[in-house]
Amino acid sequence: MSMSKINDQERQLLKGDCDSCFGLCCVALPFAASSDFAVNKDGGQPCSNLQSDYRCSVHSKLRDIGFRGCTVFDCFGAGQKVSQKTFQGSDWRQHPQVARQMFEVFPLMWQLHELLWYLTEALTLEAAHSIHDSLKAAFDETKRLTELRPYALQRVDIAAHRARVNEWLLKTSELVRAKAVSSQKGKKKTFGRGADLIGAKLRGADLRGANLRGAYLIAADLREADLRMADLIGADFRDTDLRGADLSDSLFLTQPQLNAAKGDARTKLPPSFARPTHWS
């Protein structure tokens, strides 16, 4: 079986399946009253909108009633993995003795699955062929960690593992973006990690190969911007205007980023992504 076929299958496993989850994101994670959430909720406390079947009673109107944060969340498949594999289908309501541990394991699994999402993409990139073996080793180790039993997973230093994986993701980014820059004869936009681009006027900007890792793009105007081969890992796209923008070959894009942004039918997306329903 080809690597691309394997990666397509891996990507499907890294997409949330709420029907196979015990509503873990609605219980395990805390949130604070803000523009994203209408109320405060402590971690481990079930959301008041969570039903007995683990579905959301207000799912169809979350944005309208102040729960926009829920609409941009994606667990990368960690919810069903913890529910059905790690805890072998033990329902935290029917088995309250596992509840606390399940809620502590979920965010750890979420982080690992997010890394798998990025690594799966990196393994498909021709520009990163020279470090393919290292990326594959990082993928295999991350996948191994997701298979650990709950107590063993709780003992893993997730932060240290993320740091090791991020070294290879950064090298992947450098290789891909170098190729993009060479095609532009040296012309490029440079911002640096965590750039403050809140409200930036970048309509029509040529951002091919730009380093936008962790950039604050809140309410930025990126209409008709070219973001092909731009590194978007961790970029904050809340209310970013992506109407007509080209993200067809953007690097390390995620569905939650798109869900947080504004776009339209002209916005170009990679084929594996869904166009958010709230886009015009």
Q: What is the pLDDT of residue 7?
A: 66
Residue 1 confidence (pLDDT) above 60: no
Q: What is the pLDDT of residue 28?
A: 96
CATH assignment of 188-280? 2.160.20.80
Tens of pLDDT along 49-102?
999 999 999 999 999 999 999 999 999 999 999 999 999 999 999 999 999 999
User: What residue spans in the chain does CATH classification 2.160.20.80 cover?
Assistant: 188-280
Residue 211 confidence (pLDDT) above 90: yes
Q: What is the pLDDT of residue 6?
A: 53
Instruction: Name, in order, each residue with C-beta under 8 angstroms of 258's C-beta and a sequence gap of 6 or more.
Output: 237, 242, 269, 273, 274, 275, 276
- Number of separate helices (H) and strands (E) present in the chain: 8, 0
Confidence class for position 13, pLDDT limits 50, 70, 90? confident
Q: What is the pLDDT of residue 184?
A: 65
Tens of pLDDT along 147-189?
999 999 999 999 999 999 999 999 999 999 998 876 666 555 6
Q: Bridge partners of 241?
A: 221, 262
**Taking residues 246-260, what's their average pLDDT?**
96
Q: What single-letter amino acid sits at 62? A: L
Tens of pLDDT along 99-117?
999 999 999 999 999 999 9
CA 226/CA 244 separation, integer angstroms: 9
Higher-pLDDT residue of 211, 13: 211
Is residue 274 a contact partner of residue 254, using CB atoms and an 8 Å limit? no
DSSP state of 83: I
